[in-house]
Each structure stands twice: as structure tokens, then as C-alpha cells.
Amino acid sequence: MKHYLSISMIIFILPIFIFSETHTIKMATIAPEGSSWMNIMHQFDEEIGDLTKGQIKFKIYPNGVQGDELNMIRKMKLGQIHSASFTGVGLGEIVPEVRILDVPFLFKNKQEVEYIYNVLFEELQQKFIKKGFFIVGFAEVGFIYLFTENKINTLQDLQNTKMWLWKTDPLARTAFDILNIPAIPLDITDVYTSLQTGLVNGFYISPYGALALQWFTHTQNMLSTPLTHSIGAVLITTKKLNSIPKESRQIFIEKTREYLHKIIIKGRNENRESIIALREAGVQISPANQLLQDKFDKAGIQTREKMVGKLYSKKFLDKVINLLEDYRLDEKSD
């Protein structure tokens, strides 16, 4: 007796095979396993699998095992991984204009940050798409502070500090050059060892980062005046995104943004809690005096002007500054 499938049975079974196709997204991050970022991402992976009936699942590489941000970009271009979380440094390697959101001494609070993010999102999205990447959603590292071994009362105190400089960050390099602060370029993975050996005795990072990475154990002081606000985002290659069926693709985008918002809220809470923990651990936290603040503000203006033609156009800079000034006027009138 011959065994065969009837045409009607094939028609019935075929959609099941098509629908059950699994699209595995290989995602990399420098976030360590066990961190709130990773815990939330595991929850996200589970829910996205349920919502898409198994069409989408993630293979997440934590702890920077896929390398630094430059390596992650290279691997995404080669198709070795499909998605990754980035700080502004990595994002700027793809679309330099995005670094306007990281300019030192620009934002005064998180409301200003959110306003500019929202206004610029679609414009920046199109620039990323042209490079083969899609911003699934913005996240943030948060406000970044200066940590030093010695107490900072004057600009000269900072100039006597051996500051860490993220090796590929032109914004920090320019700001430190303007302020005449000696800075030693290193990969982020080399900072802790360099603090131990005394190669550097100052760094800039979020309070949560200083605590989680244990960098604070080699410094005793933190300026509570933020150096900058650091953006973050999750990217996926357009090639991978477009390979996912439309319905599941939309679920993926919407749910990623929902979970990134959870990460933002969690991150802000952790930064507030970390400031308390740092103070309890003996770190002296104090604001910049008015004289030092004035010098910071002036350096911020000079830094963003020096980046014209290197990271963004004068027109783009003026647009952001005008948007920010209008927003501040509206807030003041309210």
C-alpha cells in the first residue's frame, strides 16, 4: 500500500511549517549576567517567544563576550550577530550626528533629554537605516559624573588628575583638551586595572556603573555636577529585521521599546540608589562651585562648536540648541 499525502493535507500542513519557522536574533551586550538589564532582557525574550508563538527567540551574549562596541558593529555588518546594545560612543561610529545627545554640559535634567530624543528620533532613524541598522529603541546610561582620587575644588585640581579617556570618544577628548585635563585613552575593559596600578586616578561614569564595576574603590570623590548625559540604544540590522514576518516584526519592535522603557526607569532608580550607596561607602559627593561650573559651561559650548564638521553640521547643532532653548522658555512660562 502506498503512503502519500493528499493535496488537501499538504495545503493544511504547509502553513503550520511556515508559521512555526523560528527566527533567532543573536544579541550582544556589555551588560553582565545578573544585572537588571539582563534580567529584564530574559523576561523580554520569554514574552516575545510567547507572543510570536515561537517565531522569534533570542540568543543573548552578555559580559562583553562579543567584544567592545566597535567589534559588535563589525560583527553585525558581517552577520555574525544581529543586534546589540550601544552607548553613544558606539552609535556615533555608525551615525556621528547622534553624538549631539552626548555633548558635555548640555542637558540639565531628564525631561530635556526625553524631549530632544523624541523630536530627533525619526530623523536619526533614517540615518541609521541608510547604514543598514534600525534603532529598535533608545535607552540611556544616564547622567555621567566625574570621580577622582583627590577632592576637586578648582579646575587646577582636575588638571592635576590623570583622567581616563574612552579611547574612541572624540567628545570627551575635546572637552578634556579644552579644560587642559590630562587624559589617558584606554578601552573601557582596561579601566579597573589602570586604577589599580595608578595609571589613571580619575574617570567618568554613571553612579550605578561606578558601583557595579567597583571602580569607585579607587577614588574617594565624586562631583555631583554631571559631566554629560549618556544615551544608549538597541540596534538590529535591517537585513535581519526585514527577514522576520511583518506581524512578528511589529510585535518585536513594540515590545522592545516597552522593555527598554522599563530598563530606563530601573536604571534611573539604580543610579539614585547608587549615589546613596557610594556615600555610605565613604565617597565624598559635592557639587562644583560656581566658578568651576562657569568654566564647565563655557567648555561645553566650545566642545559642541568644535565638533561642527566632525560629528554634525552647524545647521543640526543650531536646530538642537534652538529646540532646547524653546523648551526651557516654555517650561519657565508654565
Dump pLDDT digits (tens) for 18-75: 445 899 999 999 888 888 889 999 999 999 999 999 999 999 999 889 998 999 999 9
Say how far apart CA 86 and CA 64 lie, in whole Å: 11
Counting the structural domains of the chain, the total is 1
Say how far apart CA 174 and CA 168 lie, in whole Å: 12
What CATH code is carried by the domain that includes residue 67? 3.40.190.170
Q: Is residue 50 part of a domain?
A: yes
Q: Is residue 4 part of a domain?
A: no
Q: Which domain holds residue 153?
A: 12-333
Beta bridge partners of 233: 86, 138
3 by Cβ neighbours in 10 Å (0-12 / 13-18 / 19+) ranks as exposed
Q: Is residue 262 part of a domain?
A: yes
Q: Is residue 147 part of a domain?
A: yes
Q: How many residues does the chain have?
A: 334
Mean pLDDT of 261-281: 94
Write the CA distances from 83 to 56, 61, 69, 74, integer angstroms: 13, 10, 11, 11
> Nearest 5°: CA angle at 317, between 102 and 121?
65
196-250: pLDDT as tens digits: 999 999 999 999 999 988 999 999 999 999 999 999 999 999 999 999 999 999 9
Q: Is residue 7 part of a domain?
A: no
Q: Is residue 3 part of a domain?
A: no
**For 201, phi and psi rounded to 5 degrees?**
-135, 25
Q: Is residue 42 part of a domain?
A: yes
138 by Cβ neighbours in 10 Å (0-12 / 13-18 / 19+) ranks as buried
C-beta separation of 95 from 73 below 8 A = no
- pTM attached to this predicted model: 0.86
Say how far apart CA 200 and CA 197 lie, in whole Å: 8
Q: Is residue 1 part of a domain?
A: no
